[in-house]
Structure 1
């Protein structure tokens, strides 16, 4: 019976676009072979023999070893011809075989809560040729998987590792399979810095357009359009790092809502400009000497509440602008409160 003992995980790397998890570490297998027992001598008692690299390659080639491999591996790593392993044979016929392993296996992600959420990845190990009654590998206790010093790729954290064994049917033959179930937690630090904060900044920039004098339609419209274009660029760059999914992701909800807010600000700017240019009954609007921007220029202090024109459209434009100065940030803050509570 082959027994797996203390496999150490050194490194995890997850390819987000390919949804493939790469695992590197050491795998130790122990079993008993009484045919390899050897007696000690009184002059020099030899407890065990160690074989590593090329020094013991010829002897290792004559020793039976389990053919355990990953059944769901998608990319086989080229083996070192000199051997990345160490075989120890004790005088009592107990063997311990330590290998350096590198597995690449599929890990489908649940992207509904991306960039937040917990993903479950499963590594399946089984014999290639031996059936369940010929080779029955098992894990060595609850602490068989040592992941205390694991190093994860940026943006992920290994939270839970579970090991189990079961009998499954592979190629129409029953085999004993070892299962490693890993829960990988993704945190949003990277996405917050490169997507969330820039998107909030663009929404805020579009909001500042409401404080520009309604007569400065060009300045207001350029501010909104620049914010919309910048947000669209961040939106596209975000999806280049995320695999395509048939369902709505959390990041889609956030970036899509931010684009909607900026688009609404752009439409409001156009509507305000149209209303402010509606002619009044029997009178014409006189050009204002004030600057288009709501800033103090020299000794002139523009009055944003200037209603001297008297046209109903002009009054409606000012009223609409005042409403959006309050409703726009209030709605965006409410959305953020609901979003982060819901997806966190």
Structure 2
């Protein structure tokens, strides 16, 4: 038993010694990191104002900076202001041979800094930026890693509001391309060149949710610009957004169709129901005008005609046409009444003349008249018989189905209502066919 306790005591003492040595090694390791930082960034040893040398330490070659980014979210795409907001993690990587250090046989993988002003930084800026800010909660979301071979990795999280010029001719059946442009502000391509990092330079968060758009794809490209002061390196990302049409179908297209169909109810009301038909036409017209103004309030005042303008304009025309149709029916109804009154007066006069003639025949019943055996050419009865013969000799005309059907409605006002019941829906259906085929095919061509 005594020897066993002795062995366990030796084992416990050895464990304590090894833990103490490990802690001392860690402490010495952290001290080594401090010495390395003081060695490469100490006073008089490194000047952050001087750019690094080019490839393989060439002094005259430009510094190459490789860029990649991670799109965290796209919060909004504003049609009226023509801008969009994005939050991203932005990374730059370049080589500065002045920052090489000993990695202690692979144990020191990299050094981490949180102060960007300690080393040289590229003067990159976002050329189409409107607003932007860094994230400082809880600590500034930025770090710099220095690797043993002198490679520097700079990473920062930023939020930007960027300009996005839009073409709204196909709105809301459109696709928009919004760009993210990055360029050097002061260094020309002779001194600094930005390059996309090879192999997936842009990453997008999974399940990216946008309320009214879908991110279809993105493309990376170069956009170097030449000015009076030289040529500057530039990178860009083109984000292709497709507008979600279901929202506009429910909020705009279906309500407009319903308003147009409600305006057609006036054709089925009685011609004498003037208050009902007028109030129905005016109400639908005002509602359609309010709908149109609400749509235009959310869009910028552009100088060209949009697809939604064509739709709302035609729907407003149909509603206004239904109101004008009642005005025409009302005028035709009064004209029919006036003609009916004239016919009634004419019938009354004819009846009065017939009554007078019969009275005259009764008074002269004793008189005898010799009827001529041969009638003169100007005899009215002979002319009537001749006219009847000509009618029987003419070939029979084919019956016109439209005229036969319209003859069932004796008044012009009723005929106008009946024709409108058929014409308005047919023309509106034809317009829908032309509208959707035109803009949907044009959308496919633009792809």
User: Structure 1-normalised TM-score?
Assistant: 0.83
Counterpart of 1:49?
A: 111
Q: Identify the residue that residue 113 of structure 1 maps to in structure 2.
A: 170
Name structure 2 gaps, 5 residues minimum.
Answer: 1-63, 346-408, 441-447
Other-structure match for 1:327: 423
Quote the offset at 1:257 in angstroms: 0.3
CA contact (8 A) 2:135 2:158 kept: no
Query: Alignment partner for residue 40 of structure 1, among 95, 103, 107?
Result: 103
Q: Residue in 1 aligned with 2:201?
A: 144
Equivalent residue in structure 2 for 1:72, among 110, 128, 141:
128
Look up the SS of the partner of 2:176 in the other structure. Answer: strand
Q: Which one is further off, 69-78 or 121-130?
A: 69-78
Q: Does 1:16 align with 2:92?
A: no
SS in 2 for 1:123: strand
Instruction: Tell me if the contact between 1:10 and 1:149 (Cα under 8 Å) persists in the aligned partners.
Output: no
SS in 2 for 1:25: strand
Give the equivalent residue in structure 1 for 2:343.
282
CA distance in 2, matches of 1:92, 1:142: 21
1:333, 1:2 → 2: CA distance?
59
* Pairs within 5 Å for 1:1-344: 1-41=64-104, 45-51=107-113, 56-57=114-115, 60-77=116-133, 80=136, 83-141=140-198, 143-149=200-206, 151=208, 153-170=210-227, 172-278=229-335, 279=338, 280=340, 281-283=342-344, 315-344=411-440
| Alignment root-mean-square deviation, CA | 2.3
Residue segments in structure 1 that go unaligned for 5+ positions in a row: 285-312
Deviations 1:58-86 (A, max 9, x none): xx421112221101222343674953212
65-74 vs 205-214, greater mean Cα deviation: 65-74
Q: TM-score, normalised by structure 2?
A: 0.65
Taking CA–CA contacts closer than 8 Å with sequence separation of 6 or more, which of the two structures ends up with the larger relative contact order? 1
CA spacing shift, 1:99–1:84, aligned 2, 3 Å: same
CA positional deviation for 1:314 = 6.6
Aligned partner of residue 163 in structure 1, secondary structure: strand
In 1, Cα distance between the equivalents of 2:295 and 2:283? 19
Q: Is contact 1:69-1:127 (8 Å) kept?
A: yes
Aligned equivalents of 1:317, 1:142: Cα separation in 2? 75
**Distance (whole Å) between structure 2 residues aligned to residue 27 and residue 335 of structure 1:** 50
Instruction: Report if aligned partners of 2:69, 2:88 keep a CA contact under 8 Å in 1.
Output: no
Q: 1:14 to 1:255 in 2, by over 3 A?
A: same
Conserved in 2, the CA contact under 8 Å of 1:159 and 1:183? yes
Looking at structure 2, the residues matched to 78 and 3 of structure 1 have their Cα atoms a distance apart, in angstroms, of 21
Deviates more, 1:229-238 or 1:91-100: 91-100
Judged with a 3 Å threshold, the aligned counterparts in structure 2 of structure 1 residues 234 and 227 are, in CA distance, closer, same or farther, namely same
Q: Is the 8 A contact 1:48 1:90 kept in 2?
A: yes
Q: Which moved more, 1:199-208 or 1:29-38?
A: 29-38
| Structure 1 residue aligned with 2:60 | none
> Is contact 1:27–1:100 with CA below 8 Å preserved after alignment?
yes
Kindly name which structure, 1 or 2, has the bigger radius of gyration based on alpha carbons. Answer: 2
- Provide closer, same or farther for how the CA distance between residues 314 and 235 of structure 1 changes in structure 2, counting only shifts above 3 A: farther
Secondary structure, counterpart of 1:75 in structure 2: strand
**Displacement of 1:167 after TM fit?**
2.9
Equivalent residues of 1:224, 1:265 under 8 A apart:
yes
CA distance in 2 between counterparts of 1:227 and 1:314 reads: 30
Contact kept? 2:176, 2:242, Cα under 8 Å: yes
Q: Is the 8 A contact 1:12 1:151 kept in 2?
A: no
Q: Distance in 1 between matches of 2:209 and 2:313?
A: 30
